[in-house]
């Protein structure tokens, strides 16, 4: 009897002191999904709040009401350890200074509009030329540089925040009062949902996206060149020297843009194809196709050292694949880490660049009585081998 009790006690001691990946996950986990709010400083328009979404696995997503910026996003590695995988800053002060749109909502028009102008119903609308001769990401003060109103959302399936704002008629040169709702949701399957809606009182154009910079090794932990990518895109948009699409679309076959079969980002960057030399990396529209009403798998990204896997699903017809070509180490981010060239990648789900000026592209026109709706979802998981 004494020997039996001793064996039981030893077994309990070993079980409680054993350090396993599963135990690491449990120490991060909480009892229920949650939304927490805290102050995050003062912007020119008023106080900024930071909302933390968390699920019971230990995943967290932090969003601020200035620019709707995702400041933190934690994802597990193959050992169950969660780490922040998006670039950004520790304080609001840094976000108020010029930066490359880290984590922000982009609008009224994501991506570039050639010549910083477009025509609608015979009227030309000039825009701010804030990217060489072109207009980029909504102009000088886009949706990334304004304050949004926030409402918490909680139910049994997911938690989130709903951000709302009215962009006034002719803000940054765009016609119509545009009422925008952008919602972020986190669920129990480690999926981050981004849901966009907008209505207008005048004919206008609308193309919204999120500009998060990802590094699945962890934010600031080297480059993303060894990440393995797979796209569903069979075509891409060739561009001119200012990154405006030319020649419609082209096949990815026998080009660095062919990610139909998994390959590292490095293998694409090392390709001598002239398009990749613009900016020293990828900054191109991957043509996904679809009718805009079906959520489809657009991209899969795998980081072999950590085992982290990110899948991107979207209703959008395009995805701007950007490899942080204009980062140069001069920006100091979270934890005092610098962000060198290729420190992150972006996957901006959206309509094609310069669509208002290219009639063969899917239209970005929005009329009164219509509702702009689109959904993008990022799913995070792990695997033990490459794609």
- Phi, psi (rounded to 5 degrees) for 15: -65, -40
Domain ranges of the chain: 34-382
Sort residue 39 into left (φ over 0), alpha (ψ -120 to 50) or beta. beta
Q: What is the pLDDT of residues 175-229, one digit of tens each?
A: 999 999 999 999 999 999 999 999 999 999 999 999 999 999 999 999 999 999 9
Please, which residues bridge with residue 187 across strands? 158
Spell out the long-range contacts of 43-49 with Cβ–Cβ below 8 A and sequence spacing 24 or more: 43/92, 43/96, 43/147, 44/96, 45/146, 45/147, 46/147, 48/92, 48/147, 49/150
Cα(230)–Cα(312) distance, rounded to whole angstroms? 10
Report the pLDDT value the prediction gives residue 292, as an integer from 0 to 100.
63
- Work out the percent of the chain whose per-residue pLDDT is above 70: 91
The dihedral sign for the CA sequence 145, 147, 149, 150: positive
Report the pLDDT value the prediction gives residue 249, as an integer from 0 to 100.
92
| Peptide bond between residue 363 and the one before it cis (omega within 30 degrees of 0) | no
Cα(143)–Cα(65) distance, rounded to whole angstroms? 11
Give the active site residues: 211, 348
Please, which residues bridge with residue 72 across strands? 62
Tokens 């420190």 appear where?
343
Report helix, strand or coil for 161: strand
Tokens 């699945």 appear where?
216
Q: What is the pLDDT of residues 346-370, one digit of tens each?
A: 999 999 999 999 999 999 999 999 9
How far are the Cα atoms of 145, 277, 312, 381 from residue 308, in angstroms, in the given order? 31, 29, 13, 6
Report the pLDDT value the prediction gives residue 274, as an integer from 0 to 100.
77
Strand order in the sheet with 60-64: 34-43, 46-54, 60-64, 70-76, 82-84
Please, which residues bridge with residue 302 across strands? 228, 309
Confidence of residue 248 (pLDDT cuts 50, 70, 90): confident
Average model confidence (pLDDT) across the chain: 91
Please, which residues bridge with residue 265 across strands? none
Which one is predicted more confidently, 277 or 6? 277
Report the pLDDT value the prediction gives residue 291, as an integer from 0 to 100.
63
In total, the chain counts a number of residues equal to: 387
Q: Which helix (H) or strand (E) holds 2?
A: helix 2-17
- Regarding the domain delimited by 34-382, which CATH topology (the fold level of the hierarchy) does it fall under? Beta-galactosidase; Chain A, domain 5 (2.70.98)
Q: Which helix (H) or strand (E) holds 265?
A: helix 265-269
Confidence of residue 271 (pLDDT cuts 50, 70, 90): confident
Q: Which helix (H) or strand (E) holds 96?
A: helix 92-96
Q: What is the pLDDT of residues 201-214, one digit of tens each?
A: 999 999 999 999 99
Cα(41)–Cα(44) distance, rounded to whole angstroms? 10
For residue 314, how many other CB atoms are within 10 A of its CB? 27
Q: Single out the residue of 110, 105, 104, 139 nearest to residue 356, CA to CA.
A: 110
Please report the beta strands in 55-140, taking only residues with DSSP state E, as ranges in sequence order. Answer: 60-64, 70-76, 82-84, 105-106, 112-113, 117-120, 123-126, 135-136
pTM for the structure as a whole = 0.91
């Amino acid at each position: 009897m004494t020997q039996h009790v001793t064996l039981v006690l030893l077994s309990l001691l070993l079980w409680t002191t054993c350090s396993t990946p599963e135990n690491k996950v449990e120490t991060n986990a909480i009892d229920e999904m949650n939304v927490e709010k805290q102050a995050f400083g003062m912007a020119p328009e008023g106080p900024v709040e930071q909302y933390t979404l968390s699920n019971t696995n230990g995943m967290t997503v932090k969003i601020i009401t200035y620019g709707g910026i995702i400041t933190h996003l934690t994802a597990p590695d193959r050992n169950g350890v969660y780490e922040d995988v998006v670039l950004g800053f520790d304080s609001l002060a840094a976000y108020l200074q010029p930066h490359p749109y880290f984590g922000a909502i982009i609008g009224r028009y994501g991506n570039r509009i050639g010549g910083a102008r477009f025509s609608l119903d015979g009227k030309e609308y000039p825009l701010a030329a804030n990217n060489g001769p072109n207009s980029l990401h909504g102009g000088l003060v886009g949706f990334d540089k304004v304050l949004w109103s926030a409402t918490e959302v909680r139910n049994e399936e997911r938690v989130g925040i709903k951000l709302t704002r009215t962009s006034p008629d002719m803000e940054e040169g765009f016609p119509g009062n545009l009422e925008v709702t952008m919602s972020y949701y986190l669920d129990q399957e480690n999926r981050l949902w981004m849901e966009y809606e907008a209505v207008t009182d005048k004919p206008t154009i609308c193309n919204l996206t999120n500009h998060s910079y990802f590094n699945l090794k962890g934010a600031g932990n080297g480059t993303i060149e060894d990440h393995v990518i797979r796209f569903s895109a069979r075509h891409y948009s060739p561009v001119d020297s200012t990154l405006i699409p030319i020649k419609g679309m082209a096949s990815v076959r026998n080009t660095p843009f062919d990610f139909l079969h998994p390959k590292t980002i490095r293998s694409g960057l090392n390709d001598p194809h002239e398009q990749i030399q613009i900016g020293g990396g990828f900054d191109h529209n991957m043509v996904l196709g679809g009718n805009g009403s079906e959520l489809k798998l657009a991209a899969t990204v795998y980081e072999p050292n950590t085992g982290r896997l990110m899948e991107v699903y979207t209703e959008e017809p395009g995805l701007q694949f950007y490899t942080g070509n204009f980062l140069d180490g001069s920006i100091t981010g979270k934890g005092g880490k610098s962000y060198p060239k290729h420190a992150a990648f972006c996957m901006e789900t959206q309509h094609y660049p310069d669509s208002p000026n290219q009639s063969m592209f899917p239209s970005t026109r929005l009329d009164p009585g219509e509702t702009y709706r689109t959904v993008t979802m990022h799913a995070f998981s792990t695997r033990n081998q490459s794609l």
